[in-house]
Amino acid sequence: MDREIERFLKRLSFVAIAIASTTLILLFLQTPDTCVPSDAPLKPHLRFPKSTCDFTTRIHAPLHKKNQRLWSTRDWNSKVQSFSSAVFLPLRRLGILANHSKVLCVSAGAGHEVAALSGSGVEDVTGVELVDSPPLVQRADPHNLPFFDGAFDLAFSARLDEALFPARFAAEMERTVRSGGSCVVAVAECGDDEVREVVGLFRKSRSGQNGPGLAHEHPYWQLIKRILRYISCTLSYGLHLHKNSTLDLTAYSDSDWGGDPDNRKSTSGFCVFLGKNLVLWSSKKQSVVARSNTKAEYRTMSDLVAELIWVKNLLCELKHPVFELPIIYCDNLSVMLWLQIQYFTQSPSVLKLICTL
């Protein structure tokens, strides 16, 4: 039987190869209808594209129009707003930054920091980068700044981790700041060892003894790094399946109320155990905004109950019915507080509708 199947498969492969070869030969020999004979005197219908290097085909937009297009994008505005609210506003509250301060932005990139400082009212702001982006950023080497000693009140950089020589980078920042000024660097969320390493680069600074005022990066970048750290630390984790004599369903649910900083939607999370084995889990953003933590918990429980019903029906179809009622563990602290202040009577119909399946 196995030999006959093997012979049949070989014949089938030979037939497929023959058909494919014949098709390719026919396509190669067939002349397309759109071809023009080589002896045609004129070919006005042919249009060859011009080279992209032809300067006559390009439309050079003025610099101010390019800047207007760049500065009107959503990405630009979000980054500028992030620098203003997360970095420079705390510096103003600490008294480090003022409108009359002379600020130097080292490795300013496209100029988001410079735009944020200028928009907040700082009059004298200078941005330097290896590639200039006029009028916000000038061309200069961050490792060899073309400024006198003590020319600025504040030196700021958000790209210390990208420097080729971090010690020289920090030394140049300290050199250009006057006595009594400040050097501020924005770094990612890190531990004590990384903080000590960054502080050690600024040898002349006295504030390093009491702890640096390090700002944080964009919150989305922090979330990405948090995910990468979680993946790197959980590579050895896995699902352990145990042999069980019972098929009881146990579930756990929780919610993060208003955890999304953009639209303040909550995140539902739950997991289902069949005996001691984890068989179902979910972490999903809710479709609507919950007005309280209790409503977010109720929505999570309603989704969990729907999944439990599905798992129970699936086990019945597999001839392994579950006779015991599933047990759900959840955070009921908000419900208990709600009952104590007698606020539950204001919207019982809504919660009843959500929890009823």
- When mean pLDDT is compared over 22-26, 245-249, 274-278, 339-343, the highest value belongs to 274-278
- 84 and 207 fall within a common domain: yes
Separation in Å, CA 79 to CA 115, 135, 219? 10, 18, 11
- 178 and 278 fall within a common domain: no
- 98 and 155 fall within a common domain: yes
Task: Please check the confidence at residue 344 and state whether its pLDDT lies above 50.
Answer: no
- When mean pLDDT is compared over 210-214, 223-227, 297-301, the highest value belongs to 297-301
d(CA 300, CA 282): 10
Other residues' Cβ atoms within 10 Å of the Cβ of residue 184: 23
227: helix, strand or coil: helix
- When mean pLDDT is compared over 199-208, 230-239, 294-303, the highest value belongs to 294-303
271: helix, strand or coil: strand
Asked whether residue 94 is domain-assigned, the answer is yes
- 92 and 204 fall within a common domain: yes
Note the pLDDT of residue 37: 55
- 99 and 215 fall within a common domain: yes
- 90 and 193 fall within a common domain: yes
- 177 and 303 fall within a common domain: no
Asked whether residue 234 is domain-assigned, the answer is no
Task: Please check the confidence at residue 42 and state whether its pLDDT lies above 50.
Answer: yes
Type of residue found at 210: N
d(CA 300, CA 294): 10
Better-scored residue on pLDDT, 250 or 207: 250
- 188 and 126 fall within a common domain: yes
Peptide bond into 142 cis (omega under 30): no
Better-scored residue on pLDDT, 340 or 332: 332
Note the pLDDT of residue 356: 41
Order of strands, sheet of 177-185, starting from the edge strand that comes earlier in the sequence: 137-139, 124-129, 102-106, 152-157, 177-185
- When mean pLDDT is compared over 34-48, 125-139, 301-315, 320-334, the highest value belongs to 301-315
Other residues' Cβ atoms within 10 Å of the Cβ of residue 96: 17
d(CA 101, CA 153): 6
* pLDDT grade for 229, boundaries at 50, 70 and 90: confident
CATH number of the domain enclosing 334: 3.30.420.10
- Count how many domains the chain has: 2
- 197 and 71 fall within a common domain: yes
- 74 and 215 fall within a common domain: yes
- 183 and 129 fall within a common domain: yes
Asked whether residue 208 is domain-assigned, the answer is yes
C-alpha atoms less than 13 angstroms from C-alpha of 248 in its C-beta half-sphere: 9
Asked whether residue 31 is domain-assigned, the answer is no
Asked whether residue 60 is domain-assigned, the answer is no
- What are the tens digits of pLDDT across the range 262-299? 788 899 999 999 988 899 999 999 988 888 888 888 89
Better-scored residue on pLDDT, 249 or 33: 249
Q: Domain residues for 327?
A: 249-355
Asked whether residue 6 is domain-assigned, the answer is no
CATH number of the domain enclosing 94: 3.40.50.150
- What are the tens digits of pLDDT across the range 150-171? 889 999 998 888 888 888 888 8
Nearest to residue 254, comparing CAs of 331, 326, 307? 331
Asked whether residue 320 is domain-assigned, the answer is yes
Asked whether residue 58 is domain-assigned, the answer is no
* 350-355 mean pLDDT: 43
Task: Please check the confidence at residue 105 and state whether its pLDDT lies above 90.
Answer: yes
d(CA 181, CA 169): 17
Better-scored residue on pLDDT, 62 or 201: 201
- 213 and 304 fall within a common domain: no
- What are the tens digits of pLDDT across the range 48-61? 445 444 445 555 56
Separation in Å, CA 208 to CA 36, 82, 198, 211, 341? 78, 25, 10, 5, 49
